Structure 1
Amino acid sequence: LAKSRTKNKQVSEFAQLMITDHTAVNKQASALAKKLGVKPEESATSQSLKSAARKNVANLKTLKGAAFDKAYTDNEVAYHQQVLDAIDKVLIPNARNAELKDLITKVRPAIAAHLEHANMVQSSLAKK
């Protein structure tokens, strides 16, 4: 959505990074689930993240220009903070499978980098 809505180069580049990195992580998670012969289960954490994402997309579809860029970036900051919190407080402590725990642990630095990048874009937009 952001790639087609924004005219801001920083927002566009960040959105492309999110598409690329999240697609790669989803493939890794799917491959691990297939290897382990398990189907990922919904949890309160995943349901909460998905519900918030649906609401945010609906809101973003109503916005254009600078208002879109600000809302998108604010959402990305909040989302990545929620994911980091979930990783640290729920996913890693409760992972019972060593390979799953390893994947989550390996993904964490990328999520932290996404949060830092989103914060930089957010700060840049606030200065305009």
Structure 2
Amino acid sequence: MPFDARQPGRHARDARSALAAILLCLTTGLYAAAPAGDADFMNKAAQAGQMEIDASKLAETKATSGTVKRFAGQMLQDHRAAAEDLKRLASAKGVQLPATPSPADQKKLEALGALQGASFDKQYADEVGVKAHNDAVALFRKAASDARDSDVRDFAKKTLPTLEHHLESARKMASEVSR
């Protein structure tokens, strides 16, 4: 479009409109926003994973059982890796993840932190080992089959076997510490 001295500012306005359109195309091409249900899954997974990380940090110092300490070490390793994968996925989908556990899980962590010795071991095994992993397995199974975004579905499918293994190990650990 040639410059028209009779319409000052028109050229600049047209240029700004074109630039805005280009930027819109570029930014929407960088990531495809996750459907609401998939974003909800990612948020819940982030909160649950952070709860297990925080509880396992407590277990490193408070647990008296070697089995609980080993389990906690494995949880830290596996859940930190899954959290990094989830952060990358969420970033690619334009989802801002929470950095802390849910308020209900924060209360559980406070109660767990107040325990010592065998009481801590049993509560950690029951709440973090078995119950939290039962919940996580159910959450990830649902996402593995129902997520609308294929990347979210693939993340859930990839992580699910590790969570199922954690649940199996947690059941053994809970049985051992409850004796």
TM-score category (smaller protein): 0.7 to 0.9
- AA aligned to 2:95 is K
- Alpha-carbon offset, residue 95 of structure 1: 1.4
- Normalising by structure 2, what TM-score? 0.62
Higher relative contact order (CA 8 A, sep 6+): 1
Distance 2:86 2:97 in 1: 12
- AA aligned to 2:157 is T
- Alpha-carbon offset, residue 50 of structure 1: 2.1
1:113 equivalent to 2:165? Answer yes
Unpaired stretches in structure 2, ≥5 consecutive residues: 1-57
- Alpha-carbon offset, residue 68 of structure 1: 0.4
SS of the aligned residue for 2:64 comes to coil
- Alpha-carbon offset, residue 88 of structure 1: 2.2
In percent, how many aligned pairs have the same letter? 29
- Normalising by structure 1, what TM-score? 0.84
* Counterpart among 94, 101, 123 of residue 38 in structure 1: 94
1:10 equivalent to 2:67? Answer yes
- Alpha-carbon offset, residue 40 of structure 1: 4.2
- Alpha-carbon offset, residue 41 of structure 1: 6.1
Pick closer, same or farther for the CA change 1:83–1:31 going to 2, 3 Å. Answer: same
| Residue of structure 2 equivalent to 1:86 | 139
- AA aligned to 2:134 is Q
| Residue of structure 2 equivalent to 1:50 | 102
Aligned length: 120
Task: State which structure, 1 or 2, has the greater radius of gyration over its C-alpha atoms.
Answer: 2
Displaced runs of 4 or more, over 3 A: none
Query: What do residues 37-73 of structure 1 show as CA deviations (whole Å, max 9, x unaligned)?
Result: 411467xxxxxx7233212111111110000000010
Distance 2:173 2:109 in 1: 19
